[in-house]
Structure 1
């Protein structure tokens, strides 16, 4: 069973069996005196049904006899095949688990290497989370298997699936084409295998196109993001510059206002001190003139800095001018 030829020999025997020999093999399975011979007979019969893609007979035979061979590690291969024939659809998780068990028991069996790699690839192609390192390890094992048996089309097909999953699309397409070239049209199930290989090639081609589209979208997204970031940075810089300009203007206006207020206060204090030493009439004229001057100064300040609409400055200007005129005429 550990030999890579076990499956090949079993398949070869299965293809040559006559109807009477099928019955004889099933009697061997039921013979409990030699469990190893019984399992070999079961494996040959199942290989025949698998090769003929007869899922119903495979399932019925498996269900009748498989439980008697729990202690045989190779049974994991049959369990894996059975999981792929679930009526609700292939149970890839279970199939992969059994394939890993069989491969661990017989790591040198090339048929099991290919079986495990195929289930792993199908699992990954169906959307399962298969690690890249697991896929790469399976690909390396398949490359060694192909070196040993370069004329096995199934090995090439599985190799193509793994290479496609890892993004080496040229290698994948070359491998699946080689699998098609190696298939023997005289063998049973040829049409079904060729259909499967074309499906694999279509998957690889579609995955290549999807990867290329995804790369272009990522590039376009990056370019758009960079452009938007540049615009955002420029807008932020412009807003910052405008804010600094406005802040400078406000600061300058504030300082100007404070300076004006300081000058006005000094003017008022000085005027008051002067008026304090004048006669009452002269002091009143001086204060009236001071009030008019202050009104005109603040009106001019409001006009320069746009504090109020021009129409609202007419009355303060007239008042200031009138007070100043009264002070000079009286």
Structure 2
């Protein structure tokens, strides 16, 4: 008997902010299971703002074309196996996109070891705090920006999946941490739940640069940027001498047909600023060590990872689009009908 699986594919290349019509659900027959293969039923799928960059152009990975499966990280369970590395019932994670189920040779599929992803740590952490978003925050703060105790660290999109973790990583290193977020509720969350000293609601500030200057009167030593555009320019005007900028994302720019570009370029000279873009895979050899430290923080309560779980595979496009409207608070995940 042939099994089928639904998947979300790109219907058309987005022009500006993505629309539901840019995505199409397709039902496909799963190929027969052969020796060395496994079948995985997904339980959770991530939606990530950086995917929009791949939907519209070549970035650090080739552009996705219409008809190809939309990117996303998954947690699932092995339902059939002819691979000695995997047993039925194994919990696994993979990065093969918005699919209900898939057949794999096992390459790129990682088993979730219960010593890491067992109580009190949820398996969802594999696509959250101990996955790409959490590790991006960790390596951006520690590896790229090299934040040091006592320094002032400013984080944009501070209530998002990466930003909220970056806030806590910097705090755990002994930094003075300030966030930028897009609502009063989000700003309150960043201070009360995540431990930032302050958080600027940029929607209430006619002059974001002036707001940063008031909140960080001694200057910003490290800016962890997830937004780009005007937010980046405002931060550059407030950097301290020798300040470092880690570019994690550009959520305000992904949907622009023409990138806006940086305008405060002279500040790099005036303030001796260093700005570095990165992707988490640059630090792959250090993943195990980073995950161990972050897991320890989670167990001790020093790292709280916020999730926003949306039920229903059919809701993946709407959940993704909502990221660009500022709807999310933390990591946004899709729970499939088979999810825990």
TM-score norm. by structure 1 comes to 0.23
Query: Higher relative contact order at CA 8 Å, sep ≥6: structure 1 or structure 2?
Result: 2
- Of Structure 1 and Structure 2, which has the larger fraction of its residues in strand? 2
Structure with higher helix content: 1
Name the larger-Rg structure: 1
